[in-house]
A and B are shown apart, each in its own frame.
Chain A
């Protein structure tokens, strides 16, 4: 008798848990992975096509090799300076 009651309670709890999880997921609003990034382009992780050149007007007379030399992706130490200062202040 006790076992039957225990089984009944277990099944009941499992069913309630399952139904509530389904309802929560169904009703929850759609959020981006990182809500801090709020522009639509930032929320996309899907493959992007080759970026279209918007800001540059190159023509046949442009020295492409020279233009290429101007590209220098940088992570400057100044970028992290304010953060490092905060970390130092917490030591």
Chain B
């Protein structure tokens, strides 16, 4: 009896370690994205009205296009800010550029830090996915949710660019006065 129970005990331990490993090993960000897309495609085919289906497809494409379009504009702002900071550094005879951690000791260091921070935020924003989660509730509500999500994230990135601008302005004001 005890021997039988021991076998069962070891088997349970074996399964406890084995089963969660295979479940965790499967989930990657790409898997989540693929699952989201698959659910979208599947729910899309369930929309009976062809006009509505077409509109949802358009909206899905637009969400991605808007994200890329606004992110590209933000990129230009960051490039201009970067050019201003580089020029200021040149005027002050500074050659070092990258502040990886911390905000640095001078206004120039601090500006470089916040510029990197904003540039990273834009790069991250560009790869975000806003596939509408249709299937639960009304279509317009699902699209509105994705739109609000995109708008909110873009506003956050905008805030980071404005912070970088403020830091560059501090540096320029400090040295140009």
* Chain A residues within 8 Å of B, Cβ to Cβ: 3, 7, 10-11, 14-15, 17-18, 21-22, 24-25, 31-37, 41-45, 47-56, 58-60, 62, 64-65, 67-68, 70-75, 79-80, 82-84, 86-91
Interchain residue pairs A-B with the least CB separation, the first 8? A53-B83, A56-B83, A58-B87, A90-B140, A51-B82, A21-B22, A73-B161, A42-B126
> Closest CB-CB distance, B106 to chain A, in whole Å?
15
> Closest CB-CB distance, B154 to chain A, in whole Å?
5
* Pairwise interchain contact A36-B59, C-beta atoms closer than 8 A: no
* Chain B residues within 8 Å of A, Cβ to Cβ: 4, 7-8, 11, 14-15, 18-19, 21-22, 25-26, 29-30, 33-34, 52, 55-56, 58-59, 62-64, 66, 68-70, 73-88, 91, 97-98, 100, 112, 115-116, 119-120, 123-124, 126-129, 138-140, 143-144, 147, 151, 154-155, 158, 161-162, 165, 168-169, 172-173, 176
Q: List 12 A-B contacts (CB under 8 A).
A: A14-B15, A32-B127, A33-B29, A34-B128, A53-B82, A53-B86, A54-B79, A71-B81, A80-B66, A86-B62, A88-B140, A89-B55
Complex Cα spacing A62 to B68, Å: 31
Which residues of the partner chain B approach A14 to less than 8 Å between Cβ atoms? 14-15, 18-19
* Pairwise interchain contact B25-A33, C-beta atoms closer than 8 A: no
* Pairwise interchain contact B82-A75, C-beta atoms closer than 8 A: no
* Pairwise interchain contact A7-B151, C-beta atoms closer than 8 A: no
* Pairwise interchain contact A50-B85, C-beta atoms closer than 8 A: yes
* Pairwise interchain contact A60-B91, C-beta atoms closer than 8 A: yes
> Closest CB-CB distance, B112 to chain A, in whole Å?
5
